[in-house]
Chains A and B, each alone.
Chain A
Amino acid sequence: MIHFVLLISRQGKVRLTKWYSAYSQKERTKVIRELSGLILTRGPKLCNFVEWRGLRVVYKRYASLYFCMCIDEDDNELEILEIIHHYVEVLDRYFGSVCELDLIYNFHKAYFILDELLIAGELQEPSKRTVARLVAAQDSLVETAKEQTSSITNIIAQAANFTIKMLHKGYGPWGSNALHLESLLLVDVCTRLVDQH
């Protein structure tokens, strides 16, 4: 059984924690401190397992992020290593070449995906496709739900907000000129909407 999942950056910053066994807040802090001290200092060629308080911690480094899972002594460490990889692949598919930044800002999404992958400390879904489908279904439902609940004025307000921001800065993420045009278009749309109302 997996007792907990930790994502720690190389600097020891926590990116995600999920506890399948009961740990109090105090214990959690202690566990994280202990393990980051243990894992971050390990050399690259050593094995990806650490013995810790009678349990095993399996970790794997991706770029500057360490994915750690704590398991029982008689679990299959190599399998856990692959579960970690499985998770990263699902994340990669979801975010499209996932990077640490995606996880920093969208940690809640990472949690939702993890919930589809692991449940009660066990791997519940070995198929990437199924996980992706479920998460997508939830996301799309979220989108439709949003459309239903937010009134048209809300949309206008949002669009206006966005436009003003873009204009204010004078440049956008996709290059300055193209966006300038886009935002002008948006201003146009907004004014029309307001007029109609």
Chain B
Amino acid sequence: MGSQGGFYQSKEFLDLVKSIGEARSKAEEDRIVLSEIETLKRRISEPDTPKRKMKEYIIRLVYVEMLGHDASFGYIHAVKMTHDDTLLVKRTGYLAVTLFLNEDHDLIILIVNTIQKDLKSDNYLVVCVALNAVCKLINEETIPAVLPQIVELLAHPKEAVRKKAIMALYRFYQKSPSSVSHLVSNFRKRLCDNDPGVMGATLCPLFDLITNDVNSYKDLVISFVSILKQVAERRLPKAYDYHQMPAPFIQIKLLKILALLGSGDKQASENMYTVVGDIFRKCDSSSNIGNAVLYECICCVSSIYPNPKLLESAADAISRFLKSDSHNLKYMGIDALGRLIKISPEIAEQHQLAVIDCLEDPDDTLKRKTFELLYKMTKSTNVEVIVDRMIDYMISINDNHYKTEIASRCVELAEQFAPSNQWFIQTMNKVFEHAGDLVNIKVAHNLMRLIAEGFGEDDNTADSQLRSSAVESYLYILGEPKLPSVFLQVICWVLGEYGTADGKYSASYITGKLCDVAEAYSNDETVKAYAVTALMKIYAFEIAAGRMVDMLPECHSLMEEFLASHSTDLQQRAYELQAVIGLDAHAVESIMPSDASCEDIEVDKALSFLNGYIQESIEKGAQPYIPESERSGMLNISNFRNQDHHEASSHGLRFEAYELPKQTVQARIPPASLASTELVPVPEPVYPRESYQTTTVPSVSSDAASTELKLRLDGVQKKWGRQTHFPSTSTSNSTSQKTVNGITQVDGSNTANSRTRETYDSRKQVEISPEKQKLAASLFGGPSKTEKKSATGHKSSKPSSHMVKSHAPKSSMEVASEKTSPVQQPPDLLDFGEPTVKSTAPSLDPFKDLEGLLEPTTQVSSAVNHSSTAAVTKSPDIMGLYTETPAGAHHKDSDILSGLSNSPMTNMVGGTTTMQVAQSSKSPNLKDSLEKDALVRQMGVTPSSQNPNLFKDLLG
């Protein structure tokens, strides 16, 4: 009996394991392990430790490391152990090093030599052990050292060796594709290996190779198909069967490969249709492994060139998954649905209620998967519902990783499908408020840009409405205690730019708020910088409007603080603010024009405004400018200086050509330098200088601080604004006309409704709350239609299930004639909606249907009740196992059930056979475990309250 193998170990080790098992707390466990580490350190370095002892020490090291402690002091001993001659010791050594070392560890280099030697061994077991280590330990640098031997081993007489050699090569390919690129043909060769295990192993590297380069493997389609066919026809040895399925793991791998090869390739796909269809038919959907293969089939079908028949089978399989009680299958169903809707979007509709059930399921995993599905099927018609749901969920979770993901998805969907800018801003507010620190900064810039650009030039009232609503919402949000930095930046910018634009809020109110922000988030430099600049803008607008600026006392103190700030950026901004306040209205208006953040900055690179001045200088006898490229090596500095003397006076010696205007202007922005330029004697006429001021200064520094912001925005993809927005909606309309507002859409939603009824019947749910249906309708069907009807139509008092049915019998002809007008006009919809309802409703009595529904449901629910009570009574009784023998056996059986109930359906149907087997072999098993129990108790291990299940068979 294998289990007793473990009891060869010394008492010491057993005691260690035992005491760890009995440790009451983590601290106690740590104490035990630490003392064990001390013992091992001492013992392991003693000379002449017998091999057997040493082997045990190494295993104890593995144990220590498994418990999360550092055993690095013993690594070298594990490495030494791999040098040993006996397989017994060598195997332990290799096991330890593969567990201890990652491929980048320094000690690897010491093992390579041993591995090389062992790969040449004539004992295939030694080779196998070495190959295991190769897969884990060999890194990119050491690949060449073992590569030739691995290639030789591909033709080893033992299949186990060939298989591992393939996997080793595969690992090399993963680590450094170039190192084995010349050996790729070996994988093809090994595909024809006599041993199914080797063939199966070959599929792993081939899958990766095909993923990277589909086209060079198209010729293998026929081979893969024929292999799959043979597998499905049970031509492989019986040993490869798994739960009555012929080699399912190989089938799954092959289906994955076929999915890659058939993707977008009609010809290749046609070869696969028959075999995939066969597998669909042969799959046993009552066992877990059968469902795994089915799922892979669906994936394959949704990837290859579509075939209506296969799509139908796939849809059937999906509906079976979704209707199942097992959460696992529902999960797979949702996932499969997400794959299939890419090809046939209409199949989602028949499962809408199942999807909504999953969305509201308490199981988080299922919920997330469903969100993924919703994300995939979002269109402009259902974006509001979906994104709202996503945000609600985002708020409710703590897992930062997923929060980031879902936040970015919300942003992406909102940017792509937003029905209105207002909604977009509100959505963004929510995302920022709850996950602001997790979203990309680009998103914030996009939002600012949207607010600044609005709908476009011709609709200024809408723009200002948008802005004032943004300002209002931000002022409200600022009341929240803690806001993410990125969001505060947006708020500050918008308040600065548009806070006083509509005259609703006074400058002192807005500035007060901004000062509060700067104070409350005093350790966030970026936010403070944004706040100061916003303050400057507000004051500048006030001055420009001719109002008296009355700086708030808190603003004064804030400025004082910033003027002495350690951050030069903050200092500069504060100084700029001071300087701007000191200027007169005219100057301020040109420095800080209101609402000019979207104006393009025109940079006159040719410096044409200087032409007059140059002309004049030349007339006065100055030398004309020679471009740097045309200049000869010798440079007349004095001439150069002469020519450029007013620049040079402020900058000193210069050797380059004229600077780009941007830089000179930047140098002028700080008030100090502004003053200095005024002090510099300007001998030239005033005219060019004036033109200089009026053209460049205002345009470049439209608002001095936001230049950098504006510059950053330039890189952002333009998703908003009129020019891009409108075409995109029009194209989405044209492409998705079928589903949005054409005739077919209505038709589709009708069939959807009737299908709803079907699924409704088959799902045998008694009550589907109207809210759920509403949700379903808004997610899947015509968007606002059902909602609007139930909300505004005078039939809203009717039960919504009735509503759904009353629409079902409408012939598409009728609809076609009536619904030619687009959906966007809700009154029309209602008008014609009513008469048809009246005329057709009598043809079908919805309540009869409801009655029909009731009966089966009760049956089902009673069945469910029954099984659930059964499950309840099957509460595991562990101790009973060991006290009474015959009764214990019974309990044990029930334990299998409860233990297996995690696995979907296996226990329901397919599992019965295995269960019987288990039952028949139960008595020896029980004896076994009793023996084990006795033996172990004798060794001092008793199942305590902490670990009552230690003796329970894992398989029941």
Contacts and interface: CB of A to CB of B under 8 A. Distances in A.
B949 A48 contact: no
A64 B296 contact: no
Contact of A97 (B95, B98, B200, B929): B929
A137 B247 CA distance: 24
B159 to A, nearest CB: 8
A129 B899 CA distance: 25
B306 interface: no
Contacts of B242: 82, 86, 126
Contacts of B201: 122, 124
A173 B934 contact: yes
Given A51-B368, A111-B99, A173 B954 contact: no
Interface stretch (A71-79, A180-188, A189-197): A71-79
B917 to A, nearest CB: 12
B252 A79 contact: yes
Interface in B112-167: 123, 125, 128-129, 132, 135-136, 160, 163-164, 167
B938 to A, nearest CB: 6
B425 interface: no
Contacts of B67: 14
B7 interface: yes
B3 A60 contact: no
Given A120-B167, A127-B239, A98 B288 contact: no
B289 A46 contact: no
A48 B900 CA distance: 12
A107 B14 CA distance: 12
A75 to B, nearest CB: 9
Contacts of A9: 947
B487 interface: no
B2 A125 contact: no
B454 interface: no
B856 to A, nearest CB: 23
Contact of A61 (B2, B59, B902, B955): B902
A187 B152 CA distance: 53
Interface residues of A, number: 89
Contacts of B20: 13
A115 B99 CA distance: 11
Contact of B95 (A108, A125, A134, A149): A108
Interface in B188-215: 196-197, 200-201, 204
Nearest to A46: B363
B832 to A, nearest CB: 45
Given A51-B368, A78-B292, A111-B95, A122 B204 contact: yes
A142 B402 CA distance: 49
Interface in A75-133: 76-79, 81-83, 85-86, 88-89, 91-92, 94-102, 104-109, 111-112, 115, 119-120, 122-130
A63 B954 contact: yes
Contacts of B577: none
B930 to A, nearest CB: 11
Contacts of A23: 102
B844 to A, nearest CB: 38
Contact of A49 (B3, B291, B328): B328
Nearest to B63: A107
Nearest to B918: A97
B91 A92 contact: no
B125 A138 contact: yes
Nearest to A148: B86
A146 to B, nearest CB: 6
A13 B248 CA distance: 33
Contacts of B98: 115
Nearest to A52: B401
A10 B91 CA distance: 30
A127 B197 contact: yes
Given A22-B102, A25-B70, A173-B931, A126 B955 contact: no
Interface string B909-940: 00000000000000001001101101110100
A101 B941 contact: yes
B901 interface: yes
B332 interface: yes
Contacts of B92: 108
A101 B936 contact: yes
Interface in B59-78: 59, 62-63, 65-68, 70
A125 B66 CA distance: 25
B686 interface: no
A95 B7 CA distance: 13
B104 interface: yes
Interface in B261-308: 288-289, 291-292, 295-296, 299
Interface in B556-574: none
A40 interface: no
A112 B197 CA distance: 18
A79 B249 contact: yes
A101 B950 contact: yes
B250 interface: yes
Contacts of A76: 252, 256, 292, 295-296, 299
A65 B951 CA distance: 11
Contacts of B7: 105
B252 A95 contact: no
B955 A98 contact: yes
A47 B955 contact: no
A169 B509 CA distance: 89
Contacts of A168: none
Nearest to B925: A97
Contact of B289 (A44, A78, A108, A130): A78
A183 B516 CA distance: 87
Interface in B855-907: 895, 898-899, 901-903
Max chain A Cβ within 10 angstroms of own Cβ: one of B68, B249, B932, B954: B954
A122 B167 contact: yes
A160 interface: no
Contacts of B5: 106, 109, 139
B554 to A, nearest CB: 45
Contact of A78 (B102, B288, B941, B953): B288
Nearest to B404: A54
A129 B196 CA distance: 13
A101 B932 contact: yes
Given A111-B95, A119-B135, A61 B899 contact: yes
A169 B934 CA distance: 14
Contact of A126 (B135, B250, B326): B250
30 contacts: A13-B947, A14-B68, A18-B99, A25-B65, A44-B898, A47-B363, A51-B402, A64-B952, A65-B949, A76-B295, A77-B332, A82-B249, A96-B925, A98-B954, A100-B951, A102-B6, A104-B17, A108-B62, A109-B5, A109-B6, A115-B98, A115-B132, A120-B136, A120-B168, A122-B204, A124-B201, A126-B247, A134-B128, A138-B87, A139-B2
Given A63-B953, A115-B98, A124-B197, 17 more contacts: A11-B946, A13-B21, A47-B365, A48-B902, A60-B903, A63-B954, A64-B949, A64-B950, A79-B248, A82-B243, A82-B289, A82-B292, A85-B903, A94-B2, A97-B955, A125-B200, A149-B51
Interface of B: 1-3, 5-7, 9, 14, 17, 20-21, 51, 59, 62-63, 65-68, 70, 86-88, 91-92, 95, 98-99, 102-104, 123, 125, 128-129, 132, 135-136, 160, 163-164, 167-168, 170-171, 174, 196-197, 200-201, 204, 237, 239-240, 242-243, 247-250, 252, 256, 288-289, 291-292, 295-296, 299, 326-328, 330-332, 362-363, 365-366, 368, 401-402, 405, 895, 898-899, 901-903, 925, 928-929, 931-932, 934-936, 938, 941, 946-956
Q: Please give me the 9 A-B residue pairs with the lowest Cβ-Cβ distance, nearest first.
A: A64-B949, A78-B292, A47-B327, A106-B6, A62-B954, A105-B6, A63-B952, A173-B935, A97-B925
Interface of A: 9-11, 13-14, 16-18, 20, 22-25, 28-29, 32, 43-51, 53-54, 60-65, 76-79, 81-83, 85-86, 88-89, 91-92, 94-102, 104-109, 111-112, 115, 119-120, 122-130, 134, 137-139, 141-142, 145-146, 149, 169, 171-174
